Copies of this chain bind each other. A is one copy, B any other.
Amino acid sequence: MPRERRENRRRGAKTDAPPVPVTPPYIKRRIPYFEMLNDDELSIIERNADTILEEIGIVYGEDPEARDYFLKAGATVEGELVKFPRGMCREIIQKTAKAQFTQHARNPAKSVEIGGNNMVLVPAYGPPFVYNQDEGRRYANIDDFRNFVKLAYMSDNLHHSGGTVCEPVDLPVNKRHFDMVYSHIKYSDKAFMGSVTAAERAEDSVSMAKIVFGDEFVDQNCVLVNLINANSPMTFDATMLGALKVYARNNQACMVSPFIISGAMSPVSAAGVAAQSLAEALSAMALVQLIRPGAPMIYGNFVSSMSMQTGAPTFGSPEAAQVMNIGAALARRLGVPFRSGGGFTSSKLPDAQAAYEAANTLNATLHAGVHFALHTAGWLEGGLAMGYEKFVMDADQAGMVRIAAEGIDMSENGQAMDALREVGPGKHFLGCEHTQRNFKSAFYQSALSDNNSFEQWTEDGGTDMATRANTKYKQMLADYVPPELDPAIDEALVEYMDKRKASFPDSNIS
């Protein structure tokens, strides 16, 4: 628990008072991008994306309305297939899309800037299972969901409450979105994501957001970011397009993300994946702008490599990092924010594999210049499980991204010539004036790394990081204090949910 929050409690402040954020609500990047391709090479990828759009086309099979938008904008429709004149999608996007926008949190101090030189780190999304050391792996439920919302709320290094932080499989499929959206609002005050599993669930998400933020505010501002996956290769389905249209019409951010396992849903080579992903996203992002010009949106990339022995997705690989790097550069050239990266792994445990793979991906995320890093914390087992220990371990690592993004202090104080002059050869710097002045903020202090001597570590129990993380997340949940929520809003949300839930029968079909 951050010091300020604890002090608020000690001082006898209302325990449900909004906590003072101790770190900035998002990362301001001051370091350059690492660019693996040059401008000429990026132009080749863009040319190939245009060739895909022009010659191969994208299937918008289940959505005549979408095809109609494209037809009116100058595309050719051949049955379910839409083919786009070269440059058409880019032109539509660049005419009205925002390079940067604010996603408002219900606590204004926690609103995030998406795009530009900013970086937002977000919990993992989608796992039907949870893992912890005590219980192993089991299906997730709504209590787990609330727990991860609470943990994200308490993690200063995560800037967002996320979306489906895990699937509450104990609730009916067709009604669990109510409890998910409500939990984000009730147990956190950070920005969050809406439901995309059906158009009406997207409508519910918008309606609940309006209860919190007001109708007019929602129509004019982004309060929801929403994950619209392509059904790669080169296909969008009715479910995702249904959600896309709802969010676009309501001026809420669509994050159009081709979801690709290279070799299965795309070619095996990075340049091929990048062109395909760009083509898919260009078409859907153009659709967003055709539906509501100026609506906020994000170009997303989810690309994993593949085990060529088993066909299983693999994570933390250099090939996946390459695709992410190209994607970020393409998004900058297009002028839209970019989503990718996170703490990926195919490990089933919070072990060394999980950490190597997550760290490889998180480093690539930072270097590429990702704006919205979904899946930063908790991801295990190729996204099938949300790990409690992994969550707090990843959140701890996320703190280093902030420091790294700040870059090197080249001020007089950073140059430290006074310290060098004061100390001189053969002496130590521990007590010098410069060290005293700077030591509190000099180095990132991990909450979970053990840097002690072997002897001290042994005395402390000789634990591994996962065991310390197990203790840590339980302590956080025990220390959790909810953010204040206007009781009238809370009541209105519950009333809305109750009414809607009663209006149609439970279903677990889809």
Write the residues of chain A forming the contact surface with B, with a CB cutoff of 8 angstroms.
31-32, 34-37, 41, 44-45, 48, 51-52, 55-59, 81, 137, 231, 233-235, 262-272, 275-276, 305-314, 316-319, 321-322, 325-326, 346-360, 363-364, 367, 381-382, 384-385, 393, 397, 400-401, 403-404, 407-410, 413-417, 419-421, 423-430, 432, 434-435, 438-440, 442-446, 448-454, 457, 462, 464-466, 469
User: Which chain B residues lie closer than 8 Å to A307 at the CB level?
Assistant: 443, 445, 451
Q: CB < 8 Å: which of B36, B308, B347, B360 contacts A400? A: B360
What are 28 A-to-B residue pairs whose CB atoms are below 8 Å? A32-B34, A37-B410, A44-B410, A44-B415, A56-B424, A233-B420, A233-B425, A233-B427, A233-B429, A262-B442, A265-B429, A267-B416, A269-B414, A271-B416, A272-B414, A308-B445, A309-B445, A314-B446, A316-B449, A317-B403, A317-B443, A347-B449, A351-B351, A351-B466, A352-B393, A352-B469, A356-B393, A367-B367
User: A30: nearest residue on chain B (CB-CB)?
Assistant: B36
B451 and A312 form a contact (CB under 8 A): yes
B352 and A464 form a contact (CB under 8 A): yes
Q: CB < 8 Å: which of B314, B319, B348 contacts A457? A: B348
Contact of A424 with B352 at beta-carbon distance under 8 Å, contacts A363-B360, A444-B317, A451-B307 already known: no
A233 and B424 form a contact (CB under 8 A): yes
Q: How far is the CA of A348 from the CA of B439 in the complex (A)?
A: 25
A409 and B270 form a contact (CB under 8 A): yes
User: A399: nearest residue on chain B (CB-CB)?
Assistant: B318
A465 and B430 form a contact (CB under 8 A): no
Closest A-B pairs by Cβ, 3 of them: A272-B416, A359-B359, A267-B416
Min CB distance, A139 to chain B, in Å?
A: 12
User: A236: nearest residue on chain B (CB-CB)?
Assistant: B425
User: Which chain B residues lie closer than 8 Å to A409 at the CB level?
Assistant: 269-271
Q: How far is the CA of A421 from the CA of B51 in the complex (A)?
A: 10
Q: How far is the CA of A363 from the CA of B397 in the complex (A)?
A: 14
Q: CB < 8 Å: which of B31, B272, B352, B425 contacts A417? A: B272
Q: How far is the CA of A90 from the CA of B449 in the complex (A)?
A: 40
Q: How far is the CA of A382 from the CA of B454 in the complex (A)?
A: 10
Q: How far is the CA of A384 from the CA of B352 in the complex (A)?
A: 19
Min CB distance, A259 to chain B, in Å?
A: 14
Min CB distance, A41 to chain B, in Å?
A: 5
User: Which chain B residues lie closer than 8 Å to A442 at the CB level?
Assistant: 262-263, 268-269, 305-306, 308, 319
Q: CB < 8 Å: which of B270, B318, B443, B466 contacts A306? A: B443
B465 and A353 form a contact (CB under 8 A): yes
Contact of A448 with B234 at beta-carbon distance under 8 Å, contacts A268-B416, A410-B44 already known: no
A351 and B233 form a contact (CB under 8 A): no
User: Which chain B residues lie closer than 8 Å to A35 at the CB level?
Assistant: 32
Q: How far is the CA of A35 from the CA of B33 in the complex (A)?
A: 9
Q: How far is the CA of A276 from the CA of B420 in the complex (A)?
A: 8
Q: How far is the CA of A52 from the CA of B419 in the complex (A)?
A: 11
Q: CB < 8 Å: which of B325, B349, B382, B426 contacts A59? A: B426
Q: How far is the CA of A70 from the CA of B124 in the complex (A)?
A: 59
Q: How far is the CA of A108 from the CA of B177 in the complex (A)?
A: 64
Contact of A314 with B449 at beta-carbon distance under 8 Å, contacts A420-B272, A443-B268, A443-B306 already known: yes
